[in-house]
């Protein structure tokens, strides 16, 4: 792993592009955007083909939905194509069952020069009873890319309210923690 712009650990493919990255002269410098401008909600009814032998939705099905929701949020903020660089720890707090409506809510929490941390909250709803449960919270890092698939600058976050400032600070702490762990494990430049 290596670092790109704000120190996010990414794979060799992104590392190679980052090494030859040049500013995209065809695009004006990014402006500041509100975190609310990136808010994205996607819901999907879980079907029997999406569950394991215990009747629980496969983790991979849920991660796919989380990744797609976060991607939309990242692209809304960046105004360009974005790729998943990493998914932080994912804890499955409660099982989700066939017949439940899964709703993922995403928004940009933190931005570096070319990367963004997207927070995703996952809820499951029993449509027959109306009971909703918070089942997951995930944090993903996306990198904006230009037409040549090189990292591209993203707009700053407009931190106009206390919640936006809190989320930004927490995202910054998570980034620093990830970098410190990589350094401790001797993987900062792997």
CB within 8 Å of 108: residues ≥ 6 apart: 35, 38, 73, 74, 77, 116, 117, 118, 157
pTM above threshold 0.85: no
Residue 91's pLDDT is 85
Residue 4's pLDDT is 44
> Under a CB-based contact definition with an 8 Å cutoff, are residues 62 and 96 in contact?
yes
> Under a CB-based contact definition with an 8 Å cutoff, are residues 124 and 79 in contact?
no
Residue 58's pLDDT is 97
- Per-residue pLDDT tens over the stretch 38-55: 999 999 999 999 999 999
Q: How far apart are CA 114 and CA 8, in angstroms?
A: 10
- Per-residue pLDDT tens over the stretch 108-138: 999 999 999 999 999 999 999 999 999 999 9
Ramachandran angles phi, psi of 165, nearest 5°: -65, -40
**β-sheet with 82-87: strand ranges across:** 40-45, 100-111, 115-126, 132-144, 82-87
Residue 90's pLDDT is 87
Which one-letter DSSP state was computed for residue 40? E
Residue 179's pLDDT is 86
Report all structural domains of the chain as residue ranges with CATH numbers, in order of start.
Answer: 2-22+32-184 (3.10.129.10)
Residue ranges in the chain whose pLDDT is less than 50 = 1-7, 15, 18-23, 25
Residue 28's pLDDT is 60
Structure-token pair, residue 47: 């079907």
Residue 89's pLDDT is 79
Ramachandran angles phi, psi of 135, nearest 5°: -110, -25
Q: How far apart are CA 47 and CA 59, in angstroms?
A: 14
């Amino acid at each position: 792993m290596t670092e790109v712009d704000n120190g996010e650990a990414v794979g060799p493919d992104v590392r190679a592009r980052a090494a030859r990255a040049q500013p995209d002269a065809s695009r004006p410098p990014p402006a500041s955007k509100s975190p609310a401008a990136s808010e994205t909600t996607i819901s999907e009814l879980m079907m029997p083909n999406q569950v394991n032998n215990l009747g629980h939705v496969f983790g991979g099905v849920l991660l796919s939905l989380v990744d797609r929701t976060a991607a939309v949020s990242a692209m809304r903020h960046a105004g360009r194509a974005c790729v998943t660089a990493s998914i932080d720890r994912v804890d499955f707090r409660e099982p989700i069952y066939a017949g439940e409506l899964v709703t993922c809510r995403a928004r940009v929490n933190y931005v570096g020069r070319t990367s963004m941390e997207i927070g995703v909250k996952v809820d499951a709803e029993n449509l027959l009873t109306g009971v909703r449960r918070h089942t997951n919270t995930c944090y993903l890092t996306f990198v904006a890319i230009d037409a040549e698939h090189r990292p591209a600058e993203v707009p700053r976050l407009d931190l106009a309210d206390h919640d936006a400032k809190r989320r930004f600070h927490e995202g910054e702490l998570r980034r620093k923690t990830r970098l410190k762990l990589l350094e401790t494990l001797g993987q900062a430049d792997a």
